[in-house]
Amino acid sequence: MELKLQLVDLNLRTTFRVAHGASNQRHNVIALLECQGLTGLGEAAAVFYYGDTQASLADYLRSLPRLDDDLFALERTLASLPHGPQAARAAVDIALHDLFGKLLGQPLYRLFGLQSLPLPLTSFTIAIDDPQIMAERAQHSGYPIIKIKVGTDQDETIVRAISRATSARLRVDANAAWSREQALEIIPRLAAYDIELIEQPLPVQDRQGYFWLKEQLRRQGIETPIFADESVRTSRDVAEMAGGLDGVVVKLMKCGGLREALRCIHTARAHGLQIMLSCMIETSVGVTAAAHLAPLCDYIDLDGPLLISNDLYEGVQYHQAQLELPQAPGVGVSLRSATRL
């Protein structure tokens, strides 16, 4: 099995500003695994708050020993990967699943037993900006579900402006920006805007804070669901934090791929948690791979390809907020016709 890499620089349609930084470009790695005359595609998204760079992801992938040619040995092959960035491991995992599906001539969702199950609608993300600009973007998007990035001294003003500009269902993502005290002060105020859920209100390392926050909110009669994202990377994290949460955010790039994402989903269900399937800033390669698991989830936030202007690949199709999975075998992505060599 031969591994090749493609370094891609993704141009964002607008500046993507969240609580811990802003960017106009993201730098990912596409993995191409060649085996038995087939090519499997995977993606690694470099996320700075996990310590990843495009170079570090590429270095890890280039350092891998030759992978097993037996495509029916997925678990063994993935277990043999050396410790390294989860996003890079995800690229290998996705590429192997793509090859597996192509070998069998079936799309992944069929191999997962998810034929004919409905997909939730995806949200569309509004990055931090002036409240009125954010409100205008939400309104002009036309999406029925809006995810609002917060983590400023104007958070309630932002939510109020967007709620007045659109009838969309609203979700809030604080990206670990609030302290316990700040979260306890602002969440009851935001609850008045009928927020569907709040993601990652507390710092990444403050896991015990979620148990405290949930108890304090319930004492006040606040039932707004609290989801953890950055604090929950693997199925073990899901189990450890279940008692302090209403739901978890599952991303291929932080858990290491489709195999561990499935474990996260099943672990969350076993603990009575809801699940949001989400993504980083990714091309259609990574997002389409994730979308094959969407029927297992309560919510999805798979808008990565909508946020970039130079996606080299095509896969999952967007009919506004409704996703349509590709029928091609494996992940089902292909190089866009305008970029074919």
Cα distances from 4 to residues 38, 59, 96, 107, 246, in angstroms, run 13, 12, 13, 23, 40
Whether 339 shows a pLDDT value over 70: the answer reads no
Q: Where residue 341 falls among pLDDT bands split at 50, 70, 90?
A: very low
Tokens of 39: 């090519």
* Percent of the chain predicted with pLDDT > 90: 94
> What mean pLDDT is predicted for residues 240-255?
98
Domains of the chain: 2-106 (3.30.390.10), 124-339 (3.20.20.120)
pLDDT at res. 338: 60
How do the residues of the chain divide into helix, strand and coil, expressed in percent and rounded to 5? 40, 25, 35
Residue 44 pLDDT > 60: yes
Question: Is pLDDT at 11 greater than 50 in this prediction?
Answer: yes
What pLDDT does 223 receive?
96
What would the mean pLDDT of 137-164 be, rounded to a whole number? Answer: 97
pLDDT score for 116? 87
Name the pLDDT band for 103 (thresholds 50, 70, 90). very high
Give the other-Cβ count within 10 Å of 62's Cβ: 12
pLDDT digits (tens, 9 = 90+) for 112-135: 999 989 999 999 999 999 999 999
- Is 339 in contact with 310 (CB distance < 8 Å)? no
Q: Tell me the average pLDDT across 96-102.
A: 98
**CA distances (Å), 223 to each of 47, 187, 192, 196, 219, in order?**
32, 10, 11, 10, 10
For position 20, what pLDDT does the model report?
75
pLDDT given for residue 201 in this prediction: 98
For residue 21, the model assigns a pLDDT of 81
Q: What is the pLDDT of residues 55-92, one digit of tens each?
A: 999 999 999 999 999 999 999 999 999 999 999 999 99
The predicted-structure confidence for 179-234, as pLDDT tens digits, reads as follows 999 999 999 999 999 999 999 999 999 999 999 999 999 999 999 999 999 999 99
* Confidence at residue 282, expressed as pLDDT on a 0 to 100 scale: 97
